[in-house]
Structure 1
Amino acid sequence: MSLSAGNAQQTSSQDLSGKDQEVHMAIWGSVCDKFCREFGQNAYDTWVSHLIFSSFEGGVVSLAAPTRFVRDYIQSHYATRLNDFFKADLVGMHELVIRLDSSLQSKHREEQAESKADAQSGDSAVVTSANFEGSALDQRYTFDSFVVGKSNELAYAAAKRIAESDEIAFNPLFIHGGVGLGKTHLMHAIAHEIRRKAPQKKVVYVSAEKFMLEFIAALRFKDTHAFKQKFRNVDILMVDDVQFIANKDSTQEEFFHTFNALVDNRCQLIITADRSPTELEGIEERIVSRLGWGLVADIHPTDYELRLGILQSKAEANDKVIVPQDVLEFLAKRITSNVRHLEGALTRVMAFAELVGRPITMEMTRNVLQDLIRANDRKVTIDEIQRTVADYFSIRLSELLSDRRARNIARPRQFAMYLCKQLTNRSLPEIGRKFGGRDHTTVMHAVRKVEELKEQDSQIEDDIGRLMRQLEG
């Protein structure tokens, strides 16, 4: 994901010029990157994407908003964090001001009108929200640009099947995984492919947040009929981040009836969340049950090979700067949290090199990404792994470290040894000593055993994935 380039252009040329403009463009892009990582793509698209960087004078950063509503909402919900992001990158900055710029209102209205026109046009297979921006498709998110690896191959194959087949093989398709692992990318890719292959089909892609906001607006203006027509008179409905409607009783009621109506009419549903249906908290049991009716596909955290492949693909698509292989390998090893952070890191390095006109080196990369590298350097300890595994399997820590060979104790012990090997820099003898003085060959056996079990049993692979996410998070 590259926010830097796109948002750096949203800068008032009358206030900035020359080198200052380039610097502020880069800083604004960095702030947008940080905002998106913390609050998500939907929040960025809905609110911050409409801001314009106006000026930086006397320690005051000035942003312009197109409407009073956008300005007031950002001031009450996001201004504090935006201020923190600017202070981290901009020396001497001490205040953030968001002002209303009436000259931007016409552009804002044009964007809304275009969004509404696209939604009503028969030429477009994707219906975007008429009242809230943020449901438009990203042209970069296609199947061709999605790098497939072991951690995401099931979700990718299922998405391709839906996009290319006229038959409904599973309904719904439920894709779950952590932030920035590619769930939204796959949904956009499905919509792009359907628009190309079957433009007559009516497809709605919307975030769960926007589904809720539009439902609230429909209730407020007594127009629930139009709301139902929009979301039930479709061929395919895609709802992103369904966990957002947790504890929203009225929205869940409407979502439940929308779900049933679409299934009864043999319309395809594709839903994403940050966890599996059974782990969703605050979601009614009847909805949880229906979410598991079709195919549930998990996107696991990326491994080193997949991260390197993603970086190589992104670097090859950029013809302005050359990224050395050792820099790509360094990023693949050090930025392990999610794909969004990984791509954002490479984007920052390439943007910096282009702006200052210097070749990319390892030293430059380390300097540009100091904050991100520090954030990904959180050390996981053997003690922490042991406690986490014991809690996960509901056994006592003393049992995990004991000589007991009962299956319900030995298997978690092997899991813990495997995780110690994967997540720490400790040697096998050191790991063995931390498990009651065991020999390093015992640790080797445990690692090999878990790797074999992961290949044979998807439940074990799922358990390992959850433990890794818990420890790395």
Structure 2
Amino acid sequence: MSEISAEIWNKILQSVKVEFDVTDVAFRTWLQPLKVHDVRDNTVVILVTTGQMGIDYISKKYLFPLKVAVAEITGTEYEIGFILPEEAKEEELKNAGRQKVELPGIDAKLNMTLHDAGLNPKYTFENFVVGSNNKFAHSAAVAVAESPGRMYNPFFIYGGPGLGKTHLMNAIAAHIITTQPEKSVCYVSSETFTNQLIDALRNSSNISLITSFRHRYRNIDVLLIDDIQFIIGKESTQEEFFHTFNDLIGREKQIIISSDRPPKEFDTLDERLKTRFASGLLADIQMPDYETRMAILQKKAEAEHYVISNEVLQYIATNIRTNIRELEGALTKLIALGRVENSDITPELAESALKEFISPDQQREITADLIINTVAEHFNISAKDLKGSKRNSEIVQPRHMAMYLCRNMTNMSLHSIGDALGKRDHSTIMHGVEKIDNDIKQYEDIRRTIDVLQKKINPSD
């Protein structure tokens, strides 16, 4: 049988439901939407409209039942494969414009290559949402990926957790592997690097183990080390990485590093490494502003092929500001809930379902970083500008407001506030606080702005 008709496919699905005791809700959510995309190379390729999450779940839960039912109904034992709508569309476009027949499974082979390299195939430049918080880091990452070893070496990306550093690291590696397959690429966390070094040193009498470790990390074209901050305090790891770094840079091999802070803030890191990390290009990623958060949510919803109202997306974007990971996690939960219950997601349902992400009754921790980022977002400037030395009015007044809010919404001392705002003197902070205090009494618009900022910083207050 070279194809499976809609009638036969329906019989297959009903067989799975009956024979494997699938509930009505699970059937409607996961099995009923499935369609046969193609039958080729003894494989039934099934179109999955519930996104990558759907493929992952169906593969674990229903792959075997589907395979059994297909064999029973058709009389032929087929393998089962899955494809997303966007992949099917790309496949159709390729087939339409192709002069020569290509070998099947090229994308699958690439995905396997990326998996083998420790990379996540989902993390590409194409699905990275660019905003004011990460535009510079993204542009630099693309330049590095296109010319490894020749542009910005080393390339050091830093920022808080869940802001997209790992996504950019994976995207760089995937781009190089795809466009320059002759280059050897190694992506590893600093923890893995450390553990492998410990294993080699533990058996120091076996010289071949240490030699093998060094060969693994020095006989490559591109080295990507994620979360380099975890080597702090590990002297042997720092020493080994120092020599690995020098060896690769000396041969014009690309090094890409990520961290939760810039090199100058590594208090106990070897000064030699600090200097080398800072010798290339440093790019920071800040918390996404409201517009970027909305764009991330919209792109995630599109990728999952799920229609969700702007009102719900706005609710999520307004209330979850900490990082992208939590933002996407909240949306993933809502989409899964909508599919399982086969219902639309309303703002009321979102508010109820996202209590673990958004707790209006729970007192929010007010920090200097939260205040600085909220003020920066409100005035459409960067947190770096607030902490920096610019003295134009577009920056100075928001900076004074940040000083005032830190003083009035936290228990921080003037000295601590000064440290948070670019190592400023306590007298400068006192002047800024007094300035806004006086302006509030004289100017209604300043009072309203401070009121709006306080509500943004602490909505439950």
Superposed pair shares fold, TM > 0.5 = yes
**Does 1:314 find its partner at 2:343?**
no
Q: What letter corresponds to residue 322 of structure 2 in structure 1?
A: S
Change (3 A) 1:317 1:123: closer
Change (3 A) 1:166 1:176: closer
Change (3 A) 1:308 1:160: same
Which runs of structure 2 are paired with 1:39-188 in the superposition (5 Å)? 136-165=118-147, 168-188=150-170
Q: Secondary structure at the match of 1:239?
A: strand
Q: CA deviation at 1:122?
A: 12
| Farther-moved stretch of structure 1 (227-236 vs 187-196) | 187-196
Question: For 1:384, which of 403, 409, 432 is the aligned residue?
Answer: 409
Change (3 A) 1:315 1:122: closer
Give the whole-Å Cα distance in 2 for the aligned partners of 1:186 and 1:369. Answer: 28
Give the whole-Å Cα distance in 2 for the aligned partners of 1:345 and 1:437. Answer: 37
Q: CA deviation at 1:219?
A: 1.6
Q: What letter corresponds to residue 238 of structure 1 in structure 2?
A: L
Structure 2 gap ranges (5+): 1-19, 27-59, 61-108, 367-404, 451-455
- Equivalent residues of 2:111, 2:121 under 8 A apart: no
Q: CA deviation at 1:364?
A: 1.1
- Equivalent residues of 2:187, 2:225 under 8 A apart: yes
- RMSD of aligned alpha carbons: 3.7
Q: Secondary structure at the match of 1:237?
A: strand
Question: For 1:203, which of 178, 185, 203 is the aligned residue?
Answer: 185
Which runs of structure 2 are paired with 1:62-461 in the superposition (5 Å)? 136-165=118-147, 168-221=150-203, 222=206, 223-319=209-305, 321-374=306-359, 378=364, 380=366, 383-384=408-409, 387=413, 388-392=416-420, 393=423, 395-396=425-426, 400-401=429-430, 409-410=431-432, 413=433, 432-433=436-437, 438-440=441-443, 443=446
Which residue is equivalent to 1:26?
Answer: none
Change (3 A) 1:390 1:384: farther
TM-score (norm 2): 0.60
Q: CA deviation at 1:220?
A: 2.3
Q: CA deviation at 1:127?
A: 8.9
TM-score (norm 1): 0.58
Q: CA deviation at 1:395?
A: 3.6
Q: CA deviation at 1:192?
A: 1.1
Give the whole-Å Cα distance in 1 for the aligned partners of 2:177 and 2:148. Answer: 13
Q: CA deviation at 1:360?
A: 0.8
Give the whole-Å Cα distance in 1 for the aligned partners of 2:227 and 2:146. Answer: 24
Deviations 1:245-299 (A, max 9, x none): 1101111110111000000111000000000010123311111110001000000
- Equivalent residues of 1:176, 1:272 under 8 A apart: yes
Structure 1 gap ranges (5+): 1-15, 23-52, 54-120, 129-134, 402-408, 418-431, 448-467
How many matched pairs?
A: 307
Q: CA deviation at 1:167?
A: 5.5
Change (3 A) 1:205 1:322: same
Q: Secondary structure at the match of 1:141?
A: coil
Change (3 A) 1:21 1:122: closer
Give the whole-Å Cα distance in 1 for the aligned partners of 2:261 and 2:148. Answer: 28
Change (3 A) 1:127 1:258: farther
Q: What letter corresponds to residue 347 of structure 1 in structure 2?
A: T
Higher alpha-carbon Rg: 2
Give the whole-Å Cα distance in 2 for the aligned partners of 1:358 and 1:185. Answer: 32
Q: What letter corresponds to residue 333 of structure 2 in structure 1?
A: R
Q: CA deviation at 1:440?
A: 3.1
Change (3 A) 1:311 1:442: closer
Give the whole-Å Cα distance in 2 for the aligned partners of 1:228 and 1:391. Answer: 41
Give the whole-Å Cα distance in 2 for the aligned partners of 1:127 and 1:205. Answer: 11
Identical-residue share of aligned pairs (%): 38
